Structure 1
Amino acid sequence: KENSSGKKKGKSSITKRGRARLRALLFRAVMPMVAKNTEFKALHQYFTKRSQNPLKKKQSLVALCGKLIRVLHTLGTKHIPYDANDVLGPVRQAQIQMAA
């Protein structure tokens, strides 16, 4: 969310909506994934270094929390093994290649 008033554009921050413990757990799970998992590391690098609309580090980690929960939901509902190519997808792989 963004704190803005009239012509002044304020800082954007994480909303405190939803389940606080789940949000904290996801954030704690994403931190080592960015350090160890190559796909999440590449996404974090892309989000923070892209030329148009680069994210700050914490904003990128929050975006990756959403990505992690979508990946876990897909793995659980479809009962498929983890595949790195499915995590990034062809479009995101092309964007990462263009940014590198």
Structure 2
Amino acid sequence: MQAPMTAYKRAWGEASAKLIRKELEKVRQEGDFSEERIAAALRRLGCGRDHGVHLGHGFYSVHTGVACVSGRVAKDEVTSKVHGAYAEPQPGTGPCVENRGGH
């Protein structure tokens, strides 16, 4: 279950996603998809552990405080999705990664 997205939250998230995609597009063009390189790009935007940043295998997620921005950095593209934080996120990943476990 995700937190609801109001128009304000969606707009905030979309603005953040635009900045994140722009920075991660530089990473994609360089061809270095390492977690260290992606983390460095997100840090330039002020995103770190306190923003629920989670990285893994080209996947990234960032909590803006209002919305989540998640996506992938790959050879051919950078994607992003704006969504609400998960009520029960995957343990150890921050609020923006869906729990893969069951109840």
* TM-score greater than 0.5 by the shorter chain: no
Structure possessing the higher relative contact order (Cα contacts under 8 Å, 6 or more residues apart): 2
**Higher Rg:** 1
TM-score (normalised: structure 2): 0.29
TM-score (normalised: structure 1): 0.29
Q: Larger strand proportion, structure 1 or 2?
A: 2
Q: Larger helix proportion, structure 1 or 2?
A: 1
